[in-house]
A = this chain, B = another copy of it.
Amino acid sequence: MSMGLDVSQLPDIDALTVGILGGTGDQGRGLAYRWARAGQRVRIGSRVAQRGEQAAAELAGMPGVAAGTVTGGDNAYACGADVVVVAVPWEAHAATLRDLVKPLVGKIVVDCVNPIGFDGKGPHALAVPEGSAAQQAAAVLPESRVCAGFHHVSAVLLADPQVSRVDLDVLVLGDDRDACAVVQALAHRIDGMRGVWAGRLRNAGQVEALTANLIAVNKRYKAHAGIRVTDL
């Protein structure tokens, strides 16, 4: 019934280097591990260069990671990559990007930050003046190619070397279709994942906020929930 996802139309990204801002956090480190294991070169960035270097050294010692695949440094170092993933805590989001406007000019920037708060009633979406973290990134980085994706990946599954497949879909948001195709291809580099274009950047807010629902699901059902898009 559906035409489905035509993976053959995605670009060849084998030669691209992926930088990760906030690569020492759970989400960034987990993604870095999966990409490194798939042979993608990764630059771990951190606020403090030494912490980025240390995280890279740790990842380099994990099962399936070839020598020389992962390097680390400060966030500016990570910006030297072809594609730069933003995986910093929401609280540090705007300030981190404001410091990196110049090195990110012309780069594909993949925002995967979830503005989520917690209180006595559990997780909930935070209001973002720009509409979403991704739209905030686009406002701060007018000369970058800002997309959004990788919001719903389970850091626990990503980081576990025993987990061979991470079966879920990455919803990729963005107005630059070529940039989105690169982000989709990055999802397909991880066994079990697909990258599905799911709307313009103005529709990123609900995708980010849905993470609150998945956290509620995880708590209720003792799961590491993600989502799949059906009929694709």
Interface residues of A (CB under 8 A from B): 1-5, 121-125, 154, 167-168, 171, 173, 196-200, 202-203, 205-207, 209-210, 212-214, 216-217, 220-232
| Most chain B CB within a 10 A radius of its CB, from A2, A121, A212, A230 | A230
Given contacts A125-B205, A230-B168, contact A198 B223 (CB under 8 A): no
- Decide: A125 and B206 in contact? CB cutoff 8 A: yes
Beyond the given A4-B223, A125-B203, A199-B217, please list 18 additional residue pairs across the A-B interface where CB-CB is below 8 A.
A2-B223, A3-B222, A122-B200, A123-B199, A123-B203, A124-B203, A125-B205, A125-B206, A168-B230, A173-B213, A197-B216, A199-B213, A200-B216, A203-B212, A203-B216, A205-B206, A206-B206, A217-B229
Contacts of A224 in B (CB 8 A): 1-2, 231
Contacts of A206 in B (CB 8 A): 125, 205-207, 209-210, 212-213
Distance between A187 CB and nearest chain B CB, rounded to angstroms: 14
Contacts of A222 in B (CB 8 A): 2-3
- Decide: A232 and B227 in contact? CB cutoff 8 A: no
Question: Which of B202, B216, B220, B227 is the one whose CB lies under 8 Å from A230?
Answer: B227
> Chain B: which residue is nearest A220 at the CB level?
B197
A contact face: mostly helix, strand, loop, or mixed: mixed
Question: Which of B5, B199, B214, B220 is the one whose CB lies under 8 Å from A212?
Answer: B199
Contacts of A196 in B (CB 8 A): 217, 221
- Decide: A217 and B198 in contact? CB cutoff 8 A: yes
Contacts of A205 in B (CB 8 A): 125, 206, 209
- Decide: A232 and B228 in contact? CB cutoff 8 A: no
